[in-house]
Amino acid sequence: MTHSERSWQITRVGLNDSEPSNRIIEKTLIKEYYNKIYEKYNMINETDIKDYCVDLFQKVC
């Protein structure tokens, strides 16, 4: 599931999906990604995470 996150994809540009890497995902990329998720799914409390998880799970299956 993490492989579909934009911050992970940006950090791995130029690498194959199965290629190992020790690149560090920049905190700014993580913050940008999760701020967008927070806004898109109107996350106010922990139960709101369900909509995001269901949507993400459907994308990877």
Tens digit of each residue's pLDDT (9 = 90 or more) over 7-49: 999 999 999 988 999 999 999 999 999 999 999 988 888 888 8
Amino acid 53: pLDDT: 87
What's the number of domains the chain is made of?
1
| 5 contacts 32 by C-beta, under 8 angstroms | no
> Which has the higher per-residue pLDDT, 17 or 1?
17
Give the domain range for residue 34.
2-60
In one letter, which amino acid is 59?
Answer: K
C-alpha–C-alpha distance, residues 6 and 11, integer Å: 9
